[in-house]
Structure 1
């Protein structure tokens, strides 16, 4: 495994891209083709299932439309006040009433149902426990009911309720001795005043009327219909419907599922009628539904193979287009390693390769700039080292000499000379005796205050200063000898080249992630042209000719080279007169 992994890592990029693209294209293509084949078969099955559900729903709706006509006929007694009044009367007086009038009323009611004009009714029976009952069986004249007629006209297991109950097709023995196959709607007649049961209405319809309607609704020779009643008894069954009655009784409500019928899968759809409570079922063999799937799958395999060949070919071309610019980039990087920074790659496109080429060109350009800045930094450091070496020639001799002067001044009781030599000794030790380039703001302020103390001895009351530095910011690091050249510049321009007194304010403050040291004086300031020239010198790092003028340039360039272009010196003339110098360094406290 490691051997193959190592071989893969050492393979050429173009070969890896071609091999990887081939694998990444072929595997998903094969998997997608397999999934598509299964999905296509499932889609056909689902679509046919939805279509079959619509057919069964329409089949049930058409059957229910026929049954609703019977429901309307079963509520006919409530449209006859005379009949309701007849059924509500009870007792022997009613049984002994005028038989002729009663028969005429009942015959008129039955005749009204028989000749309704919408449904072919075979027989009507009106049964009552309190009044004379009346029956008119198929192909038989109407008559008053007898005691045995109750069991004859009401099927076994029928539910007699006020909502109406549809009894599945059953055999009915008529008065003429013939047996008729009918289905019935049975409704209990109740009083409109108190809901008391008054009787039972049974309307018989020939079974053939229902069967013929079902056959008319069958539209496909490949599908088979069946219908069962509330108890699961078969009402109708197509000749090709192969499922057993035990299976049919298991489904109520609405749904679609796949069943195994003796090794042959069958798509079964069923729906229970809300009117009759009967369930309509339709079964279609899956072999019929999926007979075209194999042919389409073969076409998809051929199409997938063609797409795979084209994809591999395009992958090879695309891999070559990717690796060719990378090869040019590799050759250019070798030239940069040799110190050649005037290279520029063509970057016309806006893709990743184009962005990479532009980034490479920008990198080479910045490398050239950084090389120049590094060269400048090295030159300045060498100059500083040379100056430091020159200033360190026998420093102990200077310290001993200053100590001797301080001792003689002490003997002569000259305190000003003692203070001046003490401050001067501290300045020399701070300037040439440090091994580190970074100090704290507190150390830098102590050094500047010693320098100002010497200048105050020299200029007397003409020079005054203030220092405002919060204690929590005194430990922030700063480059050594950053503040003293700025203070010296203010004294030179304010006292030596100006007139009057100079008051100087040194303030330390923090803004977000930047530490600022502000030096303000009330001297003559700088002209706008002079200020612009000074900015140009600081930005370019050009030292002025002759002595003087080096302080601000050196301080600014040292800060920029250390921390970047966002930091350094900023010079501004104050409105009330004087110059303000802001030293900006990172806040690293």
Structure 2
């Protein structure tokens, strides 16, 4: 099957091949891009809605937590009140057969207790009108009840039984109980234990009832912007507040038929209820175990993705139509000039380089035609460059020989040796003779054109020693060399002309002591930089720019800078146009900078080298 398809494709015309190929490579990516774009966009929109809902749930959590803490502080005030503790201790020691909401003030046997009970009732009355607080109860262990509520919602004789499930246990001092409904009142009880300060035994508890509507008012205004339903759960996952009041007090798992609990502190999960997929987005409060849940159909979150889906489908369809039209146009434009270009290239293949193609197009065929024209032109230029390079090579070699054997320098050096001998300066004569010997030994270097940087530095050091003796220590020199490059290779005698230039055109004309600094370093493992710096300071920026200009152009006019030009051209000849010599000026010092490739080894043919970085 595959072979048949290949054979079918190969036997089609070029125009049909291009058309089918363009359609394939454009339509498939367009469809895949649209598919993945839709999935990514819908997922991002879903995550955005979820993150936004969690953020709003966290805001609700902070406000509810603040409200709960305010009520806990009210309970703590009763817990810390000394009168409350003393009243409960006294009533725990009295056995009554009936419970009363208020203390019988006719009991004259204990006026002190009556006084403290009065103060307790006053405290209850003072806190009666706290916002969002329905009522406050103080209850002893044996069921005596003190309350601010004129019409108590709890029957005193049954209050301990009613609240038995909500009394704090497991070492906790307070607990928020399950919501309770008393007619039109829906309250959430806070039970705070009151303990004897001396032995820490429980002597009673504070019961503070807050109205459920206080919680509902916190999130009711933003309910439409968050989800269809907001549910607040206590630590037992019972519903203590929601917009559907019929669900108050019921188990969250039972209401929504959920089997698994909440997997993490915050997040979301989905579940199907009556064939409808719902998403539950939640955030938990670790301080009291309450949870804040937003419940809505999953379709509500993904509804905005439907618009993305429609737009994506329109874009895909439009892309396919556009791809077909463009493919037809391009294939017709491509096939027409190809035959003409093919004929011209056949002519060039036969050796006729004078034929070029004049393109009328700016597409790939036009670029191909221009590339062909450029190729032919470069072939013509290459032929000319071969002759030019050969001439340059001969000239560079001649200049190299000229600097290797400088009769004037040799004459001056030998004259200096004779003069020092006559003066009896034997040590200076020996040093100068040794330096001259080493200088010529490295210059010859067994006929090699390439030497190590170590050898090149030794060569220029000998030259500097000779000149330093000749000029009676008129200057000093400093070497600052990166040891890593000492065994790298370079062409020989490239530093001596630069040092000679520094002495004759800088140091010699300076009244104070001269200094020549030679530095060499590896720059970012890309190239070697060697700098020869002198403090002569005689050259101007205009002169530097002129010299750099003719070094760059390879100008042979005139005799000025023959040594610099020789070094620059030899470097470019061996290593390419990316390397060479230039002049600079730093802090009134003249700098001659050489850039070389990093050559760790060379073969016998100097023109062919390998570099390892």
TM-score for the superposition, normalised by structure 1:
0.52
Match for residue 174 of structure 2?
A: 164
Say whether residues 1:185 and 2:186 are aligned partners: no
Contiguous gaps of at least 5 residues in structure 2:
95-108, 387-439, 450-487, 494-572, 576-603
Matches for 1:137-152 after TM superposition, within 5 Å: 138-140=149-151, 150-152=160-162
**Conserved in 1, the CA contact under 8 Å of 2:188 and 2:211?**
yes
Equivalent-residue separation in structure 1 for 2:41 and 2:374 (angstroms): 54
Please say if 1:244 is aligned against 2:249: no
1:440-459 aligned within 5 A: none
Change in Cα spacing, 1:196 to 1:288, as seen in structure 2 (3 Å) is: same
Alignment partner, residue 136 of structure 1: 147
Q: What is the match of residue 315 of structure 1?
A: 327
| Secondary structure, counterpart of 1:265 in structure 2 | strand
| Residue among 221, 224, 233 paired with 2:238 | 233
1:383-394 → structure 2 map (5 Å cutoff): none
- Aligned residue number for residue 123 of structure 2: 109
Is the CA contact 1:515–1:587 (under 8 Å) kept in the aligned structure 2?
A: no
How do 1:320-335 and structure 2 match up within 5 A?
A: 320-324=332-336, 326-335=338-347
Q: CA deviation at 1:166?
A: 1.0
Distance in 2 between the 1:370 and 1:140 partners? 112
Q: How does 1:193-204 map to 2 (within 5 A)?
A: 199-204=204-209
Per the TM alignment, residue 184 of structure 1 is displaced from its structure 2 partner at its CA by 1.0
1:35-184 to 2 correspondence within 5 Å? Answer: 35-77=36-78, 80=81, 83=84, 98-116=112-130, 118-127=131-140, 134-136=145-147, 138-140=149-151, 150-156=160-166, 158-159=168-169, 164-170=174-180, 182-184=187-189
Contact kept in structure 1, 2:166 and 2:191, CA below 8 Å: no
Structure 2 residue 210 is matched with structure 1 residue 205: yes
Quote the residue 2:309 is aligned against. Answer: 297
Cα distance change, pair 468–321 in 1 and its aligned pair in 2 (3 A): farther
- Structure-2 separation of matches of 1:102 and 1:83: 8
Q: Is the 8 A contact 1:123 1:136 kept in 2?
A: yes
Give distance in 2, aligned partners of 1:4 and 1:86.
Answer: 100
Pair 39,261 (structure 1): closer, same or farther in 2 beyond 3 Å = farther
* Cα 1:182/1:359, change in 2 over 3 Å: closer
Q: Conserved in 2, the CA contact under 8 Å of 1:514 and 1:585?
A: no
| Partners of 2:176 and 2:188 within 8 A in 1 | yes
State the Cα distance separating 1:256 from its structure 2 match. Answer: 1.8
Distance change in 2, residues 1:256/1:55 (3 Å): same
Aligned length: 390
Deviations 1:69-104 (A, max 9, x none): 3123112236746556777999989x9772212212
Give the deviation of 1:159 after TM superposition.
Answer: 3.5
Taking the TM superposition and a 5 Å limit, the aligned residue runs for 1:432-581 are: none
Tell me what 1:281 maps to.
293
Q: C-alpha displacement at 1:305, in angstroms?
A: 1.7
Give the match's secondary structure for 2:232: strand
Instruction: Describe how 1:412-431 pairs up with structure 2 within 5 A.
Output: none
Tell me how far 1:185 sits from its aligned partner: 0.9
**Aligned in 2, Cα 1:347/1:82: closer, same or farther, shift over 3 Å?**
farther
Task: Give the drift of 1:269.
Answer: 1.2
Deviation at 1:125, TM superposition (A): 1.6
Secondary structure of the structure 1 residue equivalent to 2:353 = coil
2:224 to 213, 219, 225: 219
The answer for unaligned runs of 5 or more in structure 1 is: 173-177, 375-466, 477-510, 517-564, 568-583
Which residue number corresponds to residue 15 of structure 1? 16
Maintained 8 Å contact 1:160/1:200: no
Moved more, 301-310 or 7-16: 7-16
**Cα pair 1:127 1:201 within 8 Å, conserved:** no
CA distance in 1, matches of 2:188, 2:219: 14
The 2-side partners of 1:212 and 1:77 are apart by 27
Please say if residues 79 and 193 of structure 2, whose CA atoms lie closer than 8 Å, have aligned partners that are also in contact. Answer: no
TM-fit CA distance, 1:40: 4.6
Pairwise CA distance, 1:258: 2.1
SS in 1 for 2:356: coil
Q: State the Cα distance separating 1:22 from its structure 2 match.
A: 0.9
Task: Give the Å deviation of 1:340.
Answer: 1.8
**Deviation of 1:342 (Å):** 1.1
Q: Which residue in the other structure is 1:175 paired with?
A: none
Q: Distance in 1 between matches of 2:44 and 2:306?
A: 14
CA distance in 1, matches of 2:153, 2:319: 81
Contact 1:228 1:235 in 2 (8 A): yes
- Partner of 1:266, secondary structure, is strand
User: How far 1:308 moved relative to its partner?
Assistant: 1.5
What is the root-mean-square deviation in Å for CA atoms of aligned residues? 5.2
Looking at structure 2, the residues matched to 10 and 137 of structure 1 have their Cα atoms a distance apart, in angstroms, of 100
Q: CA deviation at 1:266?
A: 0.9
How far apart, in 1, do the equivalents of 2:441 and 2:230 lie? 102
Decide whether aligned partners of structure 1 residues 352 and 66 sit closer, same or farther in structure 2, where only a CA change above 3 A counts: same
Instruction: Say whether residues 1:255 and 2:263 are aligned partners.
Output: no
* Cα deviation, residue 189, structure 1: 4.1
Q: TM-score, normalised by structure 2?
A: 0.50
User: Once the 2 structures are TM-superposed, how far is the Cα of residue 263 of structure 1 from its aligned partner?
Assistant: 2.9
Contact 2:168–2:192 (CA<8 Å) still a contact in 1? no
2:35 maps to 1:34 = yes
